[in-house]
Structure 1
Amino acid sequence: MKNDFQERQLEINTFTQRSLFITIILFLVIVIFLYRVFYLQILEHDEFDEAAFENKTYTVPVQPLRGRIIDRNGIVLTDNIATFDLITNPSEINDPIVFLNDINKLINLSESEKTNFLNSFDDRAFFNKELILKSNLNEKDIAKFEVQSFRFPNVFVGKRFRRIALGNDSFAHVLGYAGVLTDTSFISKKFNRNSWNDALYSYANGLIEGKSGLEKPLMMF
């Protein structure tokens, strides 16, 4: 009888110890779970909320439209023309030669377009600036690229505006011209903290500015 009692007591003790061990494990799991919920929902809520917002939004650079220049009779002297260009991000391209061979199978590139791309590649990649590979795409080229765009994550079709002079060439020196914002022009401009990111974004994405003539004062409006 004594042995039976001892064995029974041993079984009870063993069961109690195992139950206590399992209870402790479950308690720790619940504590860890509650801590993670508190950490994600309370402590890091703002950070994850911002990350979730960024995941569902995509910022697309939109080139500002420059104003028309007209004479006193209302005749347009300088206007904007919209074009769709094939634009690359050189900083995301590892081998420009291989890239050109691949994209040329989809969009026909001239020798001058290839040469211009290779000559400007290193400089644009260093400053993380976009580089136009082919200008003024037609509807057929746009459709062909969009179908295969998943193969080229570092390339996109962007809408850009170019300035065209509609007036007499004799007024060219008065009207002036506009061009891409240069490194020197960018450095010379004064930006506050709020506008700095926008300035860098515009600089990297081909913002144009007035260089001379009437085009230059238009930068103030």
Structure 2
Amino acid sequence: MTSTPYPGSPTAEPVGYHRASLTLTPVALERHAGELLDNGFRLALVAGHDDGDLLRAVYLFTDPDDQRVELHLPLRADYPHLPSLAGISFPTGRFEREMHDLYGVIPDSHPLPRRLVRHFHWPKGWYPMRHDAGDPPEFGDTEGPFPFRSVEGDGVYEIPVGPVHAGLIEPGHFASRWSARPSSTSRPGSGSSTRESRSSSRGAGRPMRSSCPTGSAATPPSATPSPSARRSRTPSG
């Protein structure tokens, strides 16, 4: 490994086979990351570290020849800001959101700075990977209810599902909204069954709090729409 891992870079410290490390200030991050991307490297990982007095963000870049460059950014614990790289590298945006959730590192100018790994019940301002995090505070709706997409209208009902859901997915709460129109050939009164399900389905009208706003659910026993109505059901997304 040479001491200059990519053209135009300052001298980096070799720290292993095909591996070099460079310590930067936040101001220089975007320039060096851009040079690496322009020279055939790709972002492989962004990781946060708690070094006690300081926090540290590490950006790992690799190239097809297995050359590896680490950009280390020491950050003040009381002002853990760095420029977001989401604008030049899409994967970086996800890593930065996770780093903020767990360490409180703030990616300035991030295009989508909402939570990624902590749902809305996690206390605001508590970062579990910090050495001084302590015991978790009481969980609750610290940032308000989850912003579910609202769907209203005749023939629309809502079914809360969870915390266990069918399929190879982790546990979670879902709020499913379905719409059905009765067939013109349905017997009289059959079209009202879907509307009645809002009141007869337990918990309907009260969305569950979740980081996953939609899901699927079986038809409640009280709702028995016609076959044509069942075909017209479409999740709201």
| TM-score of the two chains, using structure 2 as the length reference | 0.17
| TM-score of the two chains, using structure 1 as the length reference | 0.17
More helix by share: 1
Q: Which one has the largest radius of gyration?
A: 1
User: Which structure carries more relative contact order (alpha carbon 8 Å, separation 6+)?
Assistant: 1
